[in-house]
Amino acid sequence: MLSLEDYVFLADNEDKRKVLRDQWSEATERGSVHCTCGLQRALPLAFRCLYCGQWFCGRCAEQHFGQTIHEWIEARRNSQNAEVCRGEQ
């Protein structure tokens, strides 16, 4: 996983760099983060993007990642069902 410095360097604007720095500071000092929507989440309940390093609440994570949890579960279930039908367990 990239370090904070890597994510800050790769951020495409100063607003994103500020969010990353603020979230990092809050995470290390308090064990929680504020999502950009304003919701505070304990770290175990927050979602961090592997690519941009930003932390999100569940709703914002779904928007950021482009798929809801329910859509992911349904796609995974369909994939597993297809494997069973083909005999690829």
Q: Kindly state the average pLDDT of the residues 65-86.
A: 86
Domains held by the chain: number: 1
- The C-alpha torsion from 8 through 10 and 13 to 19, rounded to 10°, is -30
State which residues form the domain around 27: 4-86
Q: Are strands 47-48 and 32-34 parallel, antiparallel or unpaired?
A: unpaired
pTM of the model: 0.78
Give the C-alpha separation, 37 to 87, whole Å. Answer: 45
For the segment 17-56, what is each residue's pLDDT rounded down to a tens digit?
A: 999 999 999 999 999 999 999 999 999 999 999 999 999 9
